[in-house]
Chain A
Amino acid sequence: MIAAAEREYDAPAREASAATVPLLAVEDLVKVYPAARATLFGRRRSLTAVAGVSFELAAGETLAVVGESGCGKSTVGNLVLNLITPTAGRVRFDGEDLSAVDDARWRDRRRDMQLVFQDSRSALDPRLTVGAQVREGLDIHGIGMPAERRAEAEAMLEAVGLGGFADRYPHALSGGQQQRAVIARALVVGPRLVVCDEPVAALDVSIQAQVVNLLSDLQARLGLSYLFISHDLSLVRHVADRVAVMYLGAFVEVGTRRQIFDDPRHPYTRALIGAVPVARARRSRHGRPVRLTGEVPSPLTPPAGCSVHPRCPFATERCRVERPAALRQPDGRIVACHHPETVP
């Protein structure tokens, strides 16, 4: 199975297309949910979960989306995979605009775009053996000869370290093993993009490292692109090439791993990194930590102007009225802040 995926990845057509266009290009993605009326005849309110998110992801690259709960990071992952329908905006995969295509084409495309969930226990069907669930993707997409699919599924399980587990049911697996099974099921169809939504958040530290290593080995071997959604900043520093910091539905800073972690510019990024408790540090952390006051406002009643201003110690009058645009800085990163240079 792995051999098949490697062959496919090496195909010249794919190489050529990856060189010219990014694998995934997302433009101005918006998702607005209707919310319940506050009063019987009150105005119908709306909840903006994702407010205009744009990014590109190259083949073989990992882009991490970090943010606190409710910021919309999981919604971005689901929008990219069309598991929920965007209100506005476009998703291009491999140059093809997927916002215009029908369901049949999407089913086809799913083979290239897979998802790994956080909660492996509910992601797996308790009534099917692990082997059957991994095989299911091959059946759905009609990959390989039916007679060979069982062997392919077993080879994939072997590749994630679950050799000999094909006939077990999910309940007989530990949390780490279940997550490996979920990864095997996502990768057996040979995807090029995998959306990893908090893939190790439910696992204990010692097991977490096993699964993270597995994900990076598979990426190196199969040339996968990861959209890695996580709230764990230490982990993101370890896995990501580029990092997007999200707050209340929008990216506030996007940059390379080093830019974000060694020299964060946006006050929210600095607060987020500064708030992570660390067991051991090799060097002193970024020397300008910011302490935010208060909590994330409800997306039902987002603040006017910059979304961070009610919590930001550097907010000025301009921040209260004018929403800052996401501007590209001289070093290539994108920051949505009125005063990224002036703040101490």
Chain B
Amino acid sequence: MSIPVLAIDDLTVRIDPPDAPPVFPVRGVSLRVEPGETLGLVGESGCGKTLTCLAAMGLLGRRVAIAGGSVRVEGRQVAPPEPGRDGARTATLRHRRMAMIFQNPSGCLNPVRSIGWQVAEAYQLRTGAARAPARRRAVELLDLVGIPEPGRRARDYPHQLSGGQQQRAMIAIAIAGDPALLIADEATTALDVTVQAQILELLRRLQRETGMAILFVTHDLGLIAEMADRIAVMYAGQLIEHGPTAAVLAAPRHPYTAGLLDALPFIDEDVERLVPIEGTVPALDRLPHGCSFAPRCGRAGIDCAIHVPTLRGGPVQAACLHPLEAA
């Protein structure tokens, strides 16, 4: 087994609100991303999927901190910081080997710098190259992500590009200097479906050509089905199911994953009635005892209110005391 590009072990993230007790939006999450693979991280809004990624990238904001667990990038620990290694070197390791793209490219691009300048900057930071070769490389990268006439468009500013082209430029910035891992957090959510299909195709092609791993974060199970080799499902801050994508989607073992699939309409067949998951996601400051999903779960027993289940079984693992039968 090769060394995972990203290894998150038992990660817990803590938020300290100014005038309330701390809450823990991510609790005990362990993830591994192997070289060249795509891991799909899926969950509804507020489930902690973005915070998990931000913790791995070292981008947690004020009042948010890693409260437990560790993050390793290509075998080297980046969080908590190893004693003896200074913080700047840890940060360098992170930003050279990992990159992240977000839902909203227009908010991430610098409006007063040309696209080419921004791609060149990222390349310089990652590789230490000089300005002139970085500029040339920037044009090549823009070409690689499918921006037409890259030499001319490199001089364009973000507002001169459409949403799809802006996301392509973001991807060019992210892959400058060949990171080992690209984290795509709802990277296509704001795009129209026909443009989304183009961006997904681009990510697949770049993965084939560069061998980078992708951590693909989304709320859309359809995107996971198209993109991911493995799937990890989060609910209320915990990982509740994990396994090969096809196996999980064909026969989910956790009732929440099964419920999510049942709640989706089909594009190719009529369904008489959708089957919703009753109730709502619990608030972070009012998490139930035991399994967080138990209050909404049809299979829950008395034991579910006492024990917090951990991932069990294989190849599809579910954190459930009463999992559905394996296929």
Q: Which A residues form the contact surface with B (CB < 8 A)?
A: 68-69, 174, 176-177, 204-210, 212-213, 216, 231, 233-235, 237-238, 261, 271-286, 291-293, 295-296, 311
Contact = CB atoms under 8 A, between A and B. Distances in A.
Contact of A275 (B165, B197, B250): B197
A281 B266 contact: yes
Nearest to B227: A277
A259 to B, nearest CB: 14
Nearest to A204: B44
Contact of B277 (A206, A234, A275): A206
For A234, A238, A292, the residue with the greatest tally of chain B CB atoms inside 10 Å of its CB is: A238
B86 to A, nearest CB: 42
B19 interface: no
Interface string B118-130: 0000000000000
Interface string B188-201: 00001111111010
B265 interface: yes
Contact of A237 (B196, B270, B273): B270
Nearest to B148: A294
30 contacts: A174-B280, A204-B45, A205-B263, A205-B264, A206-B44, A206-B276, A207-B276, A208-B263, A209-B275, A209-B276, A216-B273, A234-B265, A234-B266, A237-B265, A272-B193, A276-B193, A277-B222, A277-B223, A277-B225, A278-B222, A278-B225, A278-B267, A279-B222, A279-B225, A280-B249, A280-B261, A281-B267, A282-B266, A284-B268, A295-B163
A116 to B, nearest CB: 18
Nearest to B192: A68
A296 B268 contact: no
Interface in B195-232: 195-198, 200, 219-226
B274 A238 contact: yes
A183 to B, nearest CB: 15
A284 B271 CA distance: 16
For A177, A209, A212, A281, the residue with the greatest tally of chain B CB atoms inside 10 Å of its CB is: A209
Given A205-B264, A237-B265, A272 B194 contact: yes
Contact of B222 (A204, A261, A276): A276
B149 interface: no
Nearest to B42: A279
Contacts, number: 124
B269 interface: yes
B164 interface: yes
B220 A234 contact: no
A234 to B, nearest CB: 4
B295 interface: no
A213 B273 contact: yes
Nearest 4 CB-CB pairings of A with B = A277-B222, A209-B276, A279-B221, A238-B265
B224 A296 contact: no
B47 to A, nearest CB: 9
A13 to B, nearest CB: 33
A164 to B, nearest CB: 16
B325 interface: no
A261 B271 contact: no
Nearest to A311: B194
A282 B222 CA distance: 14
A261 B192 contact: no
A206 B193 contact: no
B162 interface: yes
B193 A279 contact: no
Interface in B149-181: 162-165
Contacts of B281: 204
B54 interface: no
A206 B264 CA distance: 8
A292 B277 CA distance: 36
Interface in B261-311: 261, 263-271, 273-278, 280-281
Contacts of A272: 193-194
Nearest to B262: A209
Contacts of B192: 68-69, 231, 295-296
B260 interface: yes
A205 B273 CA distance: 14
B35 interface: no
A68 B265 contact: no
B291 to A, nearest CB: 16
A68 B268 contact: no
Contacts of A278: 222, 225, 266-268
B323 interface: no
B259 interface: yes
A209 B226 contact: no
Nearest to A232: B265
A212 B267 contact: no
Given A210-B276, A271-B194, A275-B194, A281 B268 contact: yes
B226 A237 contact: no
B263 A68 contact: no
Given A206-B260, A277-B225, A285 B44 contact: no
A274 B268 CA distance: 11
B261 A238 contact: no
Given A235-B265, A277-B226, A278-B222, 8 more contacts: A212-B274, A213-B274, A231-B193, A278-B266, A279-B222, A283-B268, A295-B163, A295-B194
Contacts of A237: 265-267, 270
A4 B260 CA distance: 37
Nearest to B188: A277
For B250, B260, B266, the residue with the greatest tally of chain A CB atoms inside 10 Å of its CB is: B266
B276 A285 contact: no
A51 B88 CA distance: 57
Interface string B247-262: 0011000000001110
B292 to A, nearest CB: 14
A243 to B, nearest CB: 12
